[in-house]
Amino acid sequence: MKKAIFSFIYHNLMGWKSVVIAKDYDKQIICCAPHTSNWDFIIGKIFYAAIGRETGFMMKKEWFFFPLGNLLRYMGGIPVNRGKKNSMVEQVAKVIEESKKFSLAITPEATRSRNPNWKKGFYYIATKANIPIVLVAIDYSTKTVIAEKVIIPSGNIEKDMHEIKLYFHQFKGKNPENFTTGL
């Protein structure tokens, strides 16, 4: 029922399309880009519900104020203190190890502004936990969310990050001037 409702909203009311080739792994990191608008979050969550999948997400802790914080946690939100150095990779890898199912969406740009220096935490988490990275693109030029490419971390971060950035280079965000892969 939930899937049908969100599918109706996503396809019929919002007019978006989906290309889903990547399988739904029991444990995975979802790497989402371009991230140029707050709408990306809403479209992404509706897309995932429309295809019958669930994923958590990390968001800066400043968004977790009452009552919005309760709603974000219910939706799978994990507050992150971006100003404090901590062992987030170790903590998340431990949670993954102890979980039967785990799916976490991360935007590598870590901002809606133009940023050629993508964060690599999602890659380190996937490597440490030995799980795949599913690349999910939100392409506003075609109103399509695409989940077709999967990266199995090789341990060669430069090579893998280049492949990831090269893949996302073809897509247009809501505010295309705010997106760069740095290539």
Q: Judge contact between 57 and 76, C-beta under 8 A.
A: yes
Strand residue runs (E) in 8-159: 17-20, 27-33, 56-60, 77-80, 102-106, 133-139, 144-151
Q: What span, in angstroms and rounded, lies between the C-alpha atoms of 63 and 31?
A: 21
- So what's the pLDDT on residue 141? 97
- So what's the pLDDT on residue 49? 92
Strand order in the sheet with 133-139: 17-20, 144-151, 133-139, 27-33, 102-106, 56-60, 77-80
Residues of the chain with pLDDT under 70: 82-86
Q: How many helices (H) and strands (E) does the chain have?
A: 6, 7
CB 24: neighbour CB atoms within 10 A? Answer: 16
- So what's the pLDDT on residue 83? 61
- So what's the pLDDT on residue 85? 60
Would the pTM of this model clear 0.75, i.e. be above it? yes
Residues 6 or more apart in contact with residue 28 via CB below 8 angstroms:
102, 103, 104, 131, 132, 133, 134
pLDDT digit string, tens, across residues 75-111: 777 777 766 566 778 878 888 888 899 999 999 987 8
- So what's the pLDDT on residue 158? 96
- So what's the pLDDT on residue 164? 97
Q: What span, in angstroms and rounded, lies between the C-alpha atoms of 58 and 109?
A: 13
In the predicted model, what is the mean pLDDT of the chain?
90
